[in-house]
Chains A and B, each alone.
Chain A
Amino acid sequence: MAEANLTIVRDGTARTREADSPRSLVVHFGPDKPLRLDAGVELAPFQIAYQTYGTLDQNRANAVLICHALTGDQHVANVHPVTGKPGWWETMVGPGRPIDTERYFVICANVIGSCMGTSGPSSTNPATGKPWGLEFPVITVRDMVNAQAMLLDRLGIESLFAVAGGSLGGMQVLQWTASYPQRVFAALPIATGTRHSAQNIAFHEVGRQAVMADPEWRGGRYLLEHTNPRRGLAVARMGAHITYLSDAALHRKFGRKFQDRSNPTFSFDADFEVESYLRHQGSSFVERFDANSYLYLTRAMDYFDLAADYGGVLARAFKDTPTRFCVVSFTSDWLFPTSESRATVHALNAASARVSFAEITTDKGHDAFLLDEPELFTIVRGFLDAAGKARGLNGKP
């Protein structure tokens, strides 16, 4: 299995296959339906790959949009076609889960700039017949959301019951409520913020520099030149992965334990368990992710600053919002600490929005939103139940 994946990844043509012809539902937007990007250019034609779960009810009122994080994709609750692993949010989304696919029609689309079937730098540029590479325009969180809105138009869904997501997904949730307040009944931004902090931009820059320092990156033309900046991307992932955890979680899981040995080897092998773990995280990541997409998506997060789009006053982004919000943060998340969520909540209060805010105690760090956190599940379930009653959703579609 691993060997087969490796073969696919090493072959540049095969690598663009999932990007151009994904094992997902796909909608195509022709030259008459361009995506107008914040960068000032139009993207057309382009495509969006997405997955759906559950059934849309007669009133088209029970649709829930899930927004995925930086390295996530549309495979929320099904086996991943590339890795063979379970969907990335199966603990949250599925039959009987907090986001219950027996009650809600769940949609998740791969974001613009990613590499799992929605147009991005590893997709084929229709103008040249070759992979876009760095010719792909730089995209923003708002571009991702505008593309999702076009997908919903195509699906005939005017109003979403809920939009939910963590991290970059949470940024999209907040952007949704600012850009399309009338289309969002309930919003669940988790482990996120309304802007990327200087520290977070700094971490991303280290990751990007690691990718670009790999000689196999070839100025972003690795797909054309049949190379792959695996080492650079793996190092980027290793660094980023540390920021998704916490000191306490690393200590609990690994401590200073040695990996398959009882004494140090006095070399630069992965003596420690934590080193071995990070190396594994890095090497498995490069099997499923495109290096240029990593550059584009980290950039989109860096550029995100919701208040800046509203004259520096965050509350204006939520002025007269009809949406009900449930903001969630985690005590040990140092990437998007509770103070970021609190700033969002303050702005929502100032805008007289209907907002709930819960901070969950955990040592699992930023990644807690993806993990088994019973309190998160209870909160999401309770919030959606109450919102469903308010919207007149009753039971199964």
Chain B
Amino acid sequence: MTMLTRTNRDLTMAEAARVADGGRVDLLLVADMVEPGSKVLDVGCGDGELLRILAERRGVDGRGIELSREGVNECVAKGLAVVQGDADTDLVDYPDDGFDYVILSQTLQATRHPRQVLEHMLRIGRRAIVSFPNFGHFGIRLQILLGGRMPTTDNLPYTWYDTPNIHFCTIKDFRQLCGVVGARMERAIALNAWGRRLRLTAPWWFWNLFGEQAVFLLSRQKANNGRRSHS
């Protein structure tokens, strides 16, 4: 498997204060992975909260793509550079290496072609950051195993017949996809159900069982450009 440095920095006091204030811990973790002053594309940026955090805390030159018209218009009214678009169809229009980071925050599971989206992210940005809900979490496993029904959680409240989420994966699945597309995993974080980080020393199977969310920082495999078929 590729080299991996699991990040070990703790939340600063300010971050902790924001989290207590209702800020989303996964957004702060993502922001923490971005070098200050870099150029960032946030795919599926929603109401622009992450872009706002990135601009305020990291001095980032941020752009966004958002599917919902309401989300886009809210972002634009806030002065954010956001366009209405679809991760599945519109990433092809972005040039190679146009960004330092391309971020997909809690959106992977809603794309039609997660592999192609990830490949485009690695083509457009020098690095990609992906955060997603881990479908391998024991709570989810138990709902299927014991309840016999499709799981719903606080973070994933949708019923199976009315959900935007069509491609769930586990941490283990995602690591496998990274191998398929030739992504190098530089850092990874898993959070438990209470938004706390899992111990770094814990083995992957432990993360896959007790991590409710995961954040991965990826880069292109240097030796392998053969998969950049969509550029």
- CB of B94 closer than 8 Å to a CB of A: yes
State whether A358 and B79 are in contact (beta carbons under 8 Å apart), knowing that A349-B94, A350-B95, A352-B98 are contacts in the complex: no
Rounded to whole angstroms, the CA-CA distance of A345 and B83 in the bound complex is 8
CB distance from A294 to the nearest CB of B (A): 34
B30 proximal to A (CB < 8 A):
no
Contact A378 B84 (CB under 8 A): no
A107 within 8 A of B: no
Residue of B whose beta carbon sits closest to that of A375: B73
A17 at the interface (CB under 8 A from B): no
Q: Which residues of B contact A385 (CB under 8 A)?
A: 79
A359 surroundings in chain B (CB, below 8 A): 69, 72, 84
Q: Write the nearest CB–CB distance from A92 to chain B, whole angstroms.
A: 15
One digit per residue, 1 when the CB lies within 8 angstroms of any chain B CB and 0 when it does not, for chain A 328-339 equals 000000000000
Contact B77 A357 (CB under 8 A): no
**Assembly CA distance A352 to B41 (angstroms):** 11
Q: A382-B76, A382-B78, A382-B79 are in contact. Are A350 and B93 (CB under 8 A)?
A: yes
User: Are B95 and A356 in contact, CB atoms less than 8 angstroms apart?
Assistant: no
Q: With the chains together, A354 CA to B84 CA distance in Å?
A: 14
Expressed in whole angstroms, the minimum distance between the Cβ of B54 and any Cβ of chain A is: 14
| C-alpha spacing A386/B77, complex, angstroms | 9
Task: State the main secondary structure of chain B at its contact with A.
Answer: mixed
Measured between beta carbons, the chain A residues less than 8 angstroms from B84 are 357-359
Out of B76, B81, B85, B95, name the residue touching A379 (CB < 8 Å): B76
B94 touches A356 (CB 8 A): no
Name the interface residues of A369-396: CB closer than 8 Å to any CB of B: 375, 378-379, 381-383, 385-387, 389
Q: In angstroms, how far is the closest chain B Cβ from the Cβ of A381? A: 7
Also in contact, A354 and B93, with CB within 8 A (given A360-B73, A379-B73, A383-B76): no
Min C-beta distance of B74 to chain A, whole Å: 9
Cβ of B78 and Cβ of A386 under 8 Å apart? yes
Interface residues of A in 339-359 (CB under 8 A from B): 345-346, 349-350, 352, 354-359
Min CB distance, B99 to chain A, in Å?
A: 8
Residues of A within 8 A of B79 (CB): 382-383, 385-387, 389
A324 at the interface (CB under 8 A from B): yes
- Does A71 reach chain B (CB closer than 8 Å)? no
Q: Which residues of B contact A352 (CB under 8 A)?
A: 95, 98
| C-alpha spacing A45/B61, complex, angstroms | 46
A305 to chain B, nearest CB (A): 20
CB-nearest residue of chain A relative to B75?
A: A356
A354 and B83 alpha carbons, distance in the complex (Å): 10
A345 to B65, CA, bound (A): 11
Please report the C-alpha to C-alpha distance between residue A389 and residue B55 in the assembled complex, in whole angstroms: 13
Determine whether B80 belongs to the interface, using a CB cutoff of 8 Å to chain A.
yes
Known: A378-B77, A379-B77. A357 touches B72 (CB 8 A): yes
A326 within 8 A of B: yes
Asked whether any CB of chain A lies closer than 8 Å to the CB of B183, the reply is: no
B80 touches A356 (CB 8 A): yes
The answer to whether B126 has its CB under 8 Å from any CB of chain A is no
Which residues does chain A contribute within 8 Å of B6, judged by CB atoms?
none
Q: Which residue of B lies closest to A382 (CB)?
A: B77
- A361 and B69 contacting across the interface, CB-CB below 8 Å: yes
Cβ-closest chain A residue relative to B61: A354
Inter-chain contact B76/A355, CB cutoff 8 Å: no
Q: Scoring B residues 88 to 113 as 1 if CB is less than 8 Å from chain A, else 0, what string do you get?
A: 00100111001000000000000000
What residues of chain A lie closer than 8 Å to B98, measured between beta carbons? 352
Contact B73 A358 (CB under 8 A): yes
B63 within 8 A of A: yes
A350: chain B residues at CB < 8 Å are 93-95
Bound together, the chains give a CA A354 to CA B55 distance in angstroms of: 14
**Residues 87 to 102 of chain A near chain B (Cβ within 8 Å):** none
Whole-angstrom distance between the alpha carbons of A357 and B80 in the complex?
Answer: 10
A378, B83: Cα distance in complex, Å: 16
For the complex with contacts A324-B81, A349-B94, 19 further pairs of A-B residues with Cβ separation under 8 Å are A345-B83, A349-B83, A350-B93, A352-B95, A354-B63, A356-B75, A356-B80, A357-B72, A357-B83, A358-B84, A359-B84, A378-B73, A378-B77, A379-B76, A382-B78, A382-B79, A383-B77, A385-B79, A386-B80
Which 5 A-B residue pairs are closest in the complex by CB-CB distance?
A386-B79, A382-B77, A357-B83, A356-B76, A346-B93
29 contacts between A and B (CB under 8 A): A326-B76, A345-B83, A346-B93, A349-B83, A349-B94, A350-B94, A350-B95, A352-B98, A354-B81, A355-B63, A355-B83, A356-B82, A356-B83, A357-B84, A357-B85, A358-B72, A358-B84, A359-B69, A359-B84, A360-B73, A375-B73, A378-B73, A378-B77, A379-B73, A381-B77, A382-B76, A383-B79, A385-B79, A389-B79
- B residues near A (Cβ < 8 Å) are 61, 63, 69, 72-73, 75-85, 90, 93-95, 98
What residues make up the interface of A, taking CB atoms closer than 8 Å to B? 324, 326-327, 345-346, 349-350, 352, 354-361, 375, 378-379, 381-383, 385-387, 389
